[in-house]
């Protein structure tokens, strides 16, 4: 599964930034919730092309360490990152650092790709020292709901299943002593055409192949007609993204 996700982002390395309209908005919104000044060791998971990194790394005080981790070497090789940021190709679900290593954890538009987000995000939070803070943005159910409906109705393509916001809320509630807030945000992007929408999703690595049904030209045409008829907007077609934005911190003292 993670090999499939890595391959798809490796392929998107060169096209990602031009296509990542929503991801850019999400990174900017998340950065707005992060501390203006960061100190010590910062871990960013799912760095991609560096949209969030370029906003956060300059906030790090002298002597600090910023680790930009991503599953995809292809994304990292295309990433435009500040020179002092360390790049690490690794799986966020098996981060090669000991618990308590970091002072701040950030991740935008990435952790919903985890095979087991609940267990892995909990483990990621444990990488923070007591009192360390985090800011995470994950996409939740409702994202690309139009595409899901058109796909279901016409048999063309498939959509990566996103978990509901309640899944992440339940996971956060289970973390002993962790203080957190969640805000749900929605973003709409209008594309010139269904073809432009699909091209943009591919460019950003947002493709889903598991369980894909045969994509005959007839089904594709039906899919386009359905999408245009149901989700036309402002001379183009609309795609919606539902994002859960979480900020919080580990308890400063051990919880008994
Ligand atoms: C949609 S991009 C977001 C990139 C960037 N954070 C941004 O805001 O534009 C998702 C990134 O998460 C990475 N990713 C997916 N699964 C991952 C995992 N298990 N561990 C680390 N990175 C992962 C992908 O390789 C990709 O670069």
Domain chopping of the chain, boundaries: 2-143+161-189+241-249
* Candidate from 23, 29, 71, 241 with most ligand 1 atoms within 8 A of CB, to mutate: 71
Tell me if the pTM is above 0.75. Answer: yes
Kindly report the protein residue whose alpha carbon is nearest to atom 7 of ligand 1. Answer: 51
- For 196, phi then psi, to 5°, come to -65, -35
Torsion of Cα atoms, 249 then 253 then 254 then 256, to 10°: -110
Q: What is the pLDDT of residues 184-214, one digit of tens each?
A: 999 999 999 999 999 999 999 987 655 555 5
> What is the percent of the chain with per-residue pLDDT over 90, rounded to a whole number?
85
Which of 244, 248, 11, 250 is closest to 109 using CA atoms? 244
DSSP tag of 229: H
* Candidate from 27, 55, 57, 110 with most ligand 1 atoms within 8 A of CB, to mutate: 110
Beta carbon of 23 within 6 Å of any ligand 1 atom: yes
CATH 3.40.50.2300 correct for 2-143+161-189+241-249: no
Which of 110, 88, 77 is closest to 43 using CA atoms? 88
Q: What is the pLDDT of residues 13-40, one digit of tens each?
A: 889 998 999 999 999 999 999 999 999 9
Pairing of strands 128-139, 102-108: parallel
């Amino acid at each position: 599964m993670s090999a499939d996700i890595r391959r798809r982002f490796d392929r998107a390395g060169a096209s990602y930034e031009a296509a990542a309209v929503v991801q850019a908005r999400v990174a900017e919104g998340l950065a707005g919730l992060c501390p203006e000044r960061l100190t010590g060791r910062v871990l960013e998971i799912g760095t991609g092309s560096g949209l969030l990194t370029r906003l956060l790394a300059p906030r790090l005080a002298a002597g600090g360490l910023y680790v930009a981790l991503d599953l995809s070497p292809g994304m990292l090789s295309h990433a435009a990152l500040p020179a002092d940021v360390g790049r690490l190709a690794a799986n966020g679900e098996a981060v090669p650092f000991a618990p308590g290593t970091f002072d701040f954890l950030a991740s935008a538009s990435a952790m919903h790709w985890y095979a087991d987000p609940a267990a892995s995000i909990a483990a990621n939070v444990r990488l923070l020292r007591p009192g360390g803070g985090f800011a995470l943005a994950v996409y939740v159910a409702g994202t690309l709901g139009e595409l899901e409906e058109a796909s279901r109705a016409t048999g063309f393509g498939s959509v990566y299943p996103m978990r509901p916001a309640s899944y992440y809320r339940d996971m956060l509630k289970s973390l002993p002593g962790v203080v957190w807030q969640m805000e749900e945000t929605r973003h709409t992007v209008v594309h010139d055409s269904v073809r432009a929408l699909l091209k943009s999703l591919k460019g950003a690595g947002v493709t889903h192949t598991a369980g894909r049904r045969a994509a005959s030209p007839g089904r594709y045409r039906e899919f386009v007609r359905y999408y245009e008829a149901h989700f036309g907007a402002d001379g183009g077609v609309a795609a919606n993204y539902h994002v859960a934005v979480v900020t919080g911190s580990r308890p400063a003292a051990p919880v008994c």
